[in-house]
């Protein structure tokens, strides 16, 4: 009988991409393995996971809304409904192991798995553990983390530093600079900045670029600018009257490999998945952590790099005034560029997906032996 694994989590690209990477690694190791995803209804995983070739079941669950507390009125009901559905999914699928990558859906699924004696593994992506993972950590078989010092949140004997799974195709940049620049209609003889706010975009990064656009143009610097879906129209409305050949604006970057290969300096949010990719890319990075995430974990992720002199941090509230100036300053400092690139490369853990997948299979094997 083939092995069966449930993978739960989602909500953002930062959770979905690692989850799919782990699934792909499991399939590479054992093509006969059966994998079922559990996500949150209405979130992007319900679209992205089937596009990656996997089946997904949705739970009617949401996160705790800190800013608009009235939106939490139905949360207890949704949690109970999700637990009930998670139990029923586990019962019908019969997994050997459950994997939680964070995000709304992983809480009910892993909690139900624990009640039903299904062993589970947690993949904690951030340098500061989320509430759900902290609560579930004590009963996990293994907790795979991306940063050192995570035993402050989890039992030390269960913690394993694996790094975060990355999209292998996105970091395969070798020899692609000219092809990448050409695909964006840009010149190989000019310095280029890549701005990316993750799959949903980032308002602060877009505002900062609009504020500093004239400075970038007068410095003859090229810009590959991913605005995100929500902001694309507003940005285009602002710059349409004054388009410039040095500026390439896009809603979403389908070829991250081309974007990374083209860049001399990268400006980014500090999501854990993005940081994992940036470490493998090995280019100088300016991180602007989002203040709108639970436990301010992006600031903590960025700080972990800054203390290794592997990135420059610009606070969200200062970005509009400082970001473009800091980027231009860095572009003109060859020594700093080299230093940051070398130091961020030292933090790369490129095979996290494979290491985590083997750990999942080991847990499944032990369970099968125990069941006889």
pLDDT of residue 70: 52
The pLDDT of 44-70, averaged and rounded, is 79
Residue 46 CA, chain-centre distance (Å), reads 17
The pLDDT of 107-131, averaged and rounded, is 92
- The residues, ordered by sequence, that sit 6+ positions from 31 with a Cβ below 8 Å of its Cβ are none
Question: Is the model's pLDDT at 309 over the cut of 60?
Answer: yes
Confidence band (pLDDT; 50, 70, 90) for 65? low
Count the neighbouring beta carbons within 10 Å of the beta carbon of residue 154. Answer: 21
Binding-site residue positions: 12-14, 126, 167, 199, 298
CB 329 within 8 A of CB 212: no
- The count of C-alpha atoms lying within 13 angstroms of the C-alpha of 206, restricted to the half-sphere facing its C-beta, is 23
CATH number of 169-345: 3.40.50.2000
Q: What is the pLDDT of residues 239-251, one digit of tens each?
A: 887 789 999 999 9
CATH number of 4-165+351-371: 3.40.50.2000
Question: Is the model's pLDDT at 72 over the cut of 70?
Answer: no
Determine which of 5-14, 209-218, 222-231 has the lowest per-residue pLDDT on average. Answer: 5-14
CA-based nearest residue to 133, from 98, 160, 88, 101: 101
Q: Is residue 309 left, alpha or beta, with left meaning phi > 0 and alpha meaning psi from -120 to 50?
A: left
Domain extents in the chain: 4-165+351-371, 169-345
Q: Is residue 220 left, alpha or beta, with left meaning phi > 0 and alpha meaning psi from -120 to 50?
A: left
Burial of 239 (0-12, 13-18, 19+ CB in 10 A): middle
Q: What is the value of pTM for the model shown?
A: 0.84
CA-based nearest residue to 144, from 301, 291, 349: 349
Binding-site residue positions for UDP-N-acetyl-alpha-D-glucosamine: 12-14, 126, 167, 199, 298
pLDDT of residue 103: 76
Domains 4-165+351-371 and 169-345 share a fold: yes
Count the neighbouring beta carbons within 10 Å of the beta carbon of residue 57. Answer: 21
Question: Is the model's pLDDT at 66 over the cut of 60?
Answer: no
């Amino acid at each position: 009988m083939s092995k069966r694994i449930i993978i739960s989590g989602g909500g953002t690209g930062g959770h979905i991409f690692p989850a799919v990477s782990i699934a792909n690694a499991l399939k590479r190791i054992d093509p006969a393995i059966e994998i079922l995803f559990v996500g949150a209804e209405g979130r992007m995983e319900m679209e992205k996971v089937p596009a990656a070739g996997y089946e997904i079941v949705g739970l009617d669950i949401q996160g705790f809304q800190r800013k608009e507390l009235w939106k939490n009125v139905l949360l207890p009901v949704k949690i109970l409904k999700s637990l009930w559905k998670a139990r029923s999914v586990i019962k019908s699928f019969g997994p050997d192991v459950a994997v939680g990558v964070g995000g709304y859906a992983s809480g009910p699924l892993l909690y139900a798995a624990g009640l039903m004696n299904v062993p589970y593994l947690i993949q904690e992506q951030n340098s500061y553990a989320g509430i759900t993972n902290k609560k579930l950590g004590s009963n996990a078989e293994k907790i795979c983390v991306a940063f050192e010092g995570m035993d402050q949140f989890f039992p030390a004997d269960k913690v394993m530093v694996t790094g975060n799974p990355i999209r292998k195709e996105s970091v395969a940049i070798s020899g692609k600079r000219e092809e990448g620049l050409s695909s964006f209609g840009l010149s190989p003889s000019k310095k280029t900045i890549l701005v990316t706010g993750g799959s949903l975009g980032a308002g602060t990064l877009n505002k900062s670029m609009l504020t500093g656009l004239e400075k970038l143009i007068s410095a003859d610097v090229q810009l590959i600018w991913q605005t995100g879906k929500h902001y694309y129209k507003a940005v285009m409305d602002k710059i349409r009257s004054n388009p410039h050949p040095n500026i390439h604006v896009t809603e979403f970057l389908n070829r991250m490999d081309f974007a990374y290969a083209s860049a001399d300096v990268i400006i980014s949010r500090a999501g854990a998945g993005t940081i994992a990719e940036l470490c493998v890319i090995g280019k100088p990075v300016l991180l602007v952590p989002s203040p709108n995430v639970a436990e301010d974990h992006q600031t903590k992720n960025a700080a972990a790099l800054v203390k290794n002199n592997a990135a420059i941090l610009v606070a969200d509230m200062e970005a509009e005034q400082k970001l473009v100036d800091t980027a231009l300053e860095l572009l003109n400092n060859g020594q700093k560029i080299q230093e940051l690139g070398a130091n961020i490369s030292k933090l790369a853990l490129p095979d996290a997906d494979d290491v985590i997948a083997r750990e999942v299979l080991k847990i499944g094997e032990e369970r099968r032996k125990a069941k006889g």
